[in-house]
Amino acid sequence: MKLVLDPGHGGKDPGALGRYSLEKDINLSIALKLGEKIAASGIQVILTRKGDQFVDLQSRCDMANQNKADYFISIHCNGAGDPNAHGTETYCYGTSGKAYPLAQVVQKQMVEFIRSADRGVKIASFHVLRYTNMPAILLEIMFITNPREEEILNNIQWQDDFTTHMAKALCNYFGYKFAYSDKTDKHYAEDYYKAWKEKGIILNEHDLDSPLTWGEYIITQQRLKEME
């Protein structure tokens, strides 16, 4: 399966402006985190931009169409003249086809995590929704023009938690087991274990958390003394 993630705006197009941050930067940060976590489950993730460059709207559509993507998700932060405007909303081109049910699930999951106003699933003819050949949705996560929501959007830990939540929801929706883990499986003693094996202090394979017998302890100590 191929999924296109589209971090909105970029380069000379900053998107909506917060008090101290730009929409384009938040969009990219969230898309990169989300893409990494989804890709770990075996879904091929294609990003329309991986850095702060300008990509016009049709080029974004062309990239998705040429790669024959199965779904397209455009990631944005909302903006308004009223700093009190707040909440979460999701857009799709129409109610028929596969985009609308995906939009409903994504909207529900975003609201569940963010716990802000549910502005609902809305119909719009945005370029990236209209000229992509696959089901496409556009997320307006929160308002960067709302001081409280801007603070949340810029919080790196929040971004990490949000993208984990959404990656799990999307993998589940697409029928994939969520496989991403940010924890290392490396044992704290693994490097010392390898060094001892290379020196011949340890000859056989051992579980690093298994108990050590007195016999093994004595033999190990004797080998260490012989190497002095």
The residues, ordered by sequence, that sit 6+ positions from 133 with a Cβ below 8 Å of its Cβ are 64, 65
The residues, ordered by sequence, that sit 6+ positions from 95 with a Cβ below 8 Å of its Cβ are 123
Superfamily of domain 2-174: Zn-dependent exopeptidases (3.40.630.40)
Q: Classify 158 as helix, strand or coil.
A: helix
- With both helix axes pointing from N to C terminus, report the angle between 156-174 and 23-39 in degrees, rounded to the nearest 10: 50
Question: According to the model, what pLDDT value does residue 196 have?
Answer: 83
Question: According to the model, what pLDDT value does residue 189 have?
Answer: 78
Could you count the other beta carbons within 10 Å of the beta carbon of residue 52? 15
191-214 as b/e, with b when 16 or more CB fall inside 10 Å?
eeeeebeeeebbeeeeeeeeeeee
What is the rounded average pLDDT of the residues 171-179?
97
Indicate the pTM of the whole model: 0.81
Computed over every residue of the chain, the mean pLDDT equals 94
Q: Is 156 exposed, middle or buried (0-12, 13-18, 19+ CB in 10 A)?
A: exposed
pLDDT of residue 202 exceeding 90, the answer is: no
| pLDDT band at residue 184 under the 50/70/90 scheme | low
pLDDT of residue 228 exceeding 80, the answer is: no
What is the rounded average pLDDT of the residues 87-114?
97
- Rg of the chain in Å (alpha carbons): 24
Question: According to the model, what pLDDT value does residue 195 have?
Answer: 83
Q: Where are the domains of the chain?
A: 2-174, 190-226
**Catalytic choice (89, 140, 149, 150):** 140
| pLDDT band at residue 177 under the 50/70/90 scheme | very high
CB 166 within 8 A of CB 102: no
Is residue 140 annotated as a catalytic residue, yes or no?
yes
Name the residue among 141, 152, 95, 144 with its Cα closest to residue 119.
141
pLDDT of residue 183 exceeding 80, the answer is: no
